[in-house]
C-alpha cells in the first residue's frame, strides 16, 4: 500500500504518526491511488458519505449551474430557490407531521442545531429548567463541543472532558455482549427502555430536555435494537415531555433500505438529523427535520435562532442535495439498498459465519457489521494490541478493496468491519467483496490468536 508519511507532509494529520494512502481519482464505487492501484470502495468514501458513488456528472452539472446563478447569500437575511426546494423535497420524504427543515454544514452541526431547537421549544413552552440531555453508551454524535458532550464513547471524549457538559448515558440495547446478553428480544426491550425511563425519573423529568440516539450506530457495530424498542422510547419521551432526537447522519437517506432507519420501526422522532449522504461526499451539507408540533411551538412565541453558521443553507450545497435526492429517487436507490442489503446479509452469513473469529453479523440494508472474537462461546473481544483492524484493512487492500475495520474500546463492542458501500454498488462487486473478506480473515486470523 502506498502511503503519504506524515513526517514528510505539511498536513497535520488526525493521527500524527500514521501513514495515509494517496487516493487521486474516483468513479462510482471505484478509487485509484497514486500508483494506479484500483480499489472497490466498501466504505462510501471511508466515512459513509459517498452514498451515490463519486464522479457523478449530474451532480457536477448541478453544482456548476448553481454557481452560475448565485453562489452565496447568508441565510440570516435571505433565502434561495435551492434551499426552499430542498426543504420541500425532504419534508415530502419525511414521516407525516414533519414539515420543517433547517440546514447546516454537516452532522456535528446538525446535532448542535437539534440541541438549540430543543432548548427553544422548552423555552417557548415556559419550561426553562429543561436542559439536560440523555444519550446512549456507546454512541457518536459529532466533533463539536455539544455533539461530543452527547457522545457516549469515553475513549473519544475523555481528553476533552473539561470542555463538555454532562450528558447522562444509559446502556444501548446491545445484546451480543454485556448486561443484555442471553436475554430474549422482549427482555432487552423492557430493560433497555426501563433504563431510559429510570434515568429521566432520577434526573427529574422537569429538567430533562432531550433523549438522543442513533437508530443504527457505527459505535455499536451496527447492532439493531429489537422490535419494539423505539416504540417504547417514543412512549417514554412523550410521557415525560422529552424531545426525541434521532441522529440519522449515517443511517438516513436510504442507507438501511428505507429513507430513515426509524421508518423500519414506524416511529417518528421530534427532530431527525441528516448529513453525510445528503451531501453525498460532494459538498458539506446537513439538516434537521423538525416535527410540526415542535416548529409550531417555537413559531408561536416567535423565538429567534440567530446562531447560524456561514454556510448553513448554502445555495450550492442545497443544489447538490437536490441533485442527489433526484438520483436516489429516479434510480430507485432506496429500494435497491433494501434488496442489495438483503443479498449482502445472506452473503456474509454464507461465507463468514463458520469462521472461528467471526462472532456476530448484523445490520440493516447496506449498513452491515461483522464483529470478531477470540472465543465465540464467550464473545470475548480481541485486545487493541492485536491491531486486528490494521492487518485486515491491509489484507483487503491487497485484494483490491477499500474497507473499514475499527477497534472499539468498549465493554459492549470489540473489533468490527463495517460494510457500507454506495447504494449503486452492483451484485458482482458485493459477491467479490465478501469472498475477499473471507480470504483476508483466513489469511490474517491465525496471527490474531497468536498475538
Q: Residue 119: which CATH number? A: 3.40.640.10
Task: Tell whether 260 and 352 lie within a shared domain.
Answer: no
Please give the pLDDT value at position 308: 81
Do 203 and 299 sit in the same domain of this protein?
yes
Structural domain of residue 266, as residue ranges?
A: 58-330
Of 277, 310, 330, which residue sits at a domain end?
Answer: 330
pLDDT at 3: 57
Claim to verify: residue 268 and residue 313 sit in the same structural domain: yes
> What does the pLDDT read at residue 203?
98
User: Do 179 and 241 have their domain in common?
Assistant: yes
Query: What is the structure's pLDDT at 2?
Result: 47
Q: Give the end of a domain, one of 330, 351, 371.
A: 330
Is the domain of 122 the same as that of 245?
Answer: yes
Give yes or no: residues 19 and 144 share one domain: no
Domain identity same for 73 and 216? yes
The structural domain count of the chain equals 2
**425 and 296 assigned to the same domain:** no
pLDDT score recorded for residue 449: 86
User: Which pLDDT score is estimated for 305?
Assistant: 84
Quote the pLDDT of residue 7: 61
Comparing CA positions, the residue from 78, 54, 196 lying closest to residue 137 is 196
Together in a domain, 220 and 361: no
Residue 240: the pLDDT is 98
For residues 320 and 384, membership in a common domain is answered with no
Mean pLDDT by 10 residues, the chain (451 residues): 64 86 96 96 97 98 97 93 98 98 97 97 98 98 96 93 95 96 97 98 98 97 97 98 98 98 98 98 98 98 87 96 98 98 98 98 98 96 96 98 95 97 98 98 94 67
Residue 108 sits in the same domain as residue 184: yes
Query: At which of 330, 351, 386 does a domain end?
Result: 330
Identify the pLDDT of residue 1.
Answer: 44
Amino acid at each position: 500500500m502506498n502511503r503519504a508519511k506524515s513526517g514528510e507532509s505539511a498536513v497535520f494529520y488526525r493521527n500524527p504518526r500514521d501513514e495515509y494512502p494517496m487516493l487521486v481519482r474516483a468513479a462510482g464505487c471505484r478509487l485509484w491511488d497514486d500508483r494506479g492501484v484500483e480499489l472497490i470502495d466498501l466504505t462510501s468514501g471511508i466515512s459513509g458519505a459517498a452514498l451515490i458513488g463519486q464522479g457523478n456528472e449530474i451532480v457536477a452539472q448541478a453544482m456548476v449551474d448553481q454557481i452560475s446563478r448565485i453562489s452565496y447569500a447568508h441565510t440570516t437575511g435571505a433565502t434561495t430557490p435551492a434551499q426552499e426546494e430542498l426543504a420541500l423535497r425532504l419534508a415530502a420524504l419525511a414521516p407525516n407531521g414533519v414539515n420543517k427543515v433547517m440546514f447546516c454544514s454537516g452532522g456535528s452541526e446538525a446535532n448542535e442545531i437539534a440541541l438549540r431547537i430543543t432548548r427553544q421549544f422548552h423555552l417557548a413552552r415556559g419550561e426553562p429548567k429543561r436542559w439536560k440531555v440523555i444519550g446512549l453508551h456507546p454512541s457518536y454524535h459529532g466533533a463539536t463541543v455539544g455533539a461530543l458532550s452527547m457522545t457516549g464513547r469515553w475513549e473519544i471524549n475523555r481528553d476533552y472532558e473539561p470542555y463538555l457538559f454532562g450528558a447522562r448515558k444509559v446502556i444501548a440495547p446491545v445484546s451480543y455482549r454485556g448486561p443484555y446478553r442471553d436475554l430474549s428480544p422482549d427482555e432487552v426491550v423492557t430493560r433497555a427502555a426501563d433504563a431510559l425511563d429510570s434515568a429521566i425519573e432520577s434526573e427529574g423529568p422537569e429538567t430533562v430536555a432531550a433523549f438522543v440516539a442513533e437508530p443504527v450506530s457505527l459505535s455499536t457495530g451496527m447492532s439493531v435494537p429489537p422490535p419494539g424498542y423505539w416504540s417504547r422510547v417514543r412512549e417514554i419521551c412523550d410521557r415525560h415531555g422529552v424531545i426525541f432526537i434521532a441522529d440519522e447522519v449515517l443511517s438516513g437517506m436510504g442507507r438501511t433500505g428505507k429513507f430513515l432507519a426509524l421508518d423500519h420501526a414506524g416511529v417518528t422522532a421530534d427532530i431527525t438529523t441528516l448529513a453525510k449522504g445528503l451531501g453525498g461526499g460532494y459538498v458539506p451539507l446537513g439538516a434537521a427535520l423538525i416535527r410540526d408540533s415542535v416548529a409550531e411551538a417555537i413559531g408561536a412565541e416567535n423565538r429567534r435562532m440567530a446562531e447560524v453558521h456561514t454556510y448553513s443553507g448554502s445555495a450550492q450545497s442545497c443544489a447538490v442535495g437536490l441533485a442527489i435526492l433526484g438520483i436516489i429517487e429516479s434510480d430507485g436507490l432506496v429500494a435497491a439498498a433494501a434488496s442489495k442489503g438483503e443479498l449482502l446479509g445472506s452473503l456474509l452469513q454464507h461465507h463468514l459465519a463458520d469462521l472461528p473469529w467471526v462472532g456476530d453479523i448484523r445490520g440493516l440494508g447496506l449498513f452491515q457489521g461483522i464483529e470478531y472474537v477470540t472465543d465465540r462461546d464467550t464473545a470475548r473481544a480481541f485486545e487493541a494490541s492485536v491491531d486486528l483492524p490494521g492487518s485486515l484493512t491491509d489484507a483487503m487492500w491487497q485484494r483490491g478493496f477499500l474497507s473499514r475495520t475499527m477497534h472499539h474500546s468498549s465493554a459492549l463492542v470489540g473489533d468490527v468491519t463495517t460494510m457500507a458501500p454506495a447504494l449503486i454498488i452492483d451484485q458482482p462487486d458485493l459477491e467479490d467483496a465478501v469472498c475477499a473478506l473471507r480470504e483476508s480473515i483466513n489469511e490474517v486470523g491465525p496471527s490474531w490468536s497468536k498475538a
